[in-house]
Amino acid sequence: MVRVKEWKTMLIKVHKMEYKPGKVVLDKSQLKQVFINLIENSLDAIEEKGIISIHAYQENEKLNIIFKDNGKGIEPDKLKKVFDPYFTTNKKGSGIGLSIVHKIITEHNGNIFVHSKLNEGTSFYIKLPLEYKWEYYDST
Ligand SMILES: Nc1ncnc2c1ncn2[C@@H]1O[C@H](COP(=O)(O)OP(=O)(O)OP(=O)(O)O)[C@@H](O)[C@H]1O
Ligand SMILES: [Mg+2]
């Protein structure tokens, strides 16, 4: 209770703020292209008993997507070239799949990293920023 010297009418308006869950603002067809290109590469890399897994989770204000396979892996000296346009080790490949993936992710202020071990497998780590919205509403 607040004591005041004179009677006054007070109107207290409480503004509440709601924290909306994060959203990735990303073109659906572009995200689909990222998935297709990475899965196609894993399919090229795996042999019998191949496993391809995709995990997605939120951490702080980022959406993480991890593509992992147990395929043939990438030689260490080739690892830094994989996102370069036209770099390929596949006879039928054009070498643009990963450069497109890299372009889409960086255009959305995200990051992509690759980790690979020869004859063990390859993982691509994608981090995309989530957009949060604070929304005001009046409690009456
Ligand atoms: N999951 C993976 N396992 C092993 N090597 C990979 C994997 N992903 C990419 N690479 C290597 O990176 C290279 C470049 O990949 P990228 O997708 O850009 O081209 P590509 O698959 O060869 O051709 P395309 O243009 O048809 O996609 C591949 O040729 C391959 O050597
Ligand atoms: Mg490819």
**94-97 long-range Cβ contacts below 8 angstroms, 24+ apart:** 97/37, 97/40, 97/41
Q: What is the pLDDT of residues 25-46, one digit of tens each?
A: 778 889 899 999 999 999 999 9
42 C-alpha to ligand 1 centroid (Å): 8
CA distances from 106 to 26, 109, 138 (A): 11, 5, 38
Mutate to test the pocket of ligand 1, among 72, 77, 90 (most ligand atoms within 8 A of CB): 90
Q: What is the pLDDT of residues 47-86, one digit of tens each?
A: 988 999 999 988 888 889 999 999 999 999 999 999 999 9
pTM: 0.83
User: Can you give the residue ranges of every domain in the chain?
Assistant: 14-139
As assigned by CATH, the class of the 14-139 domain is alpha beta
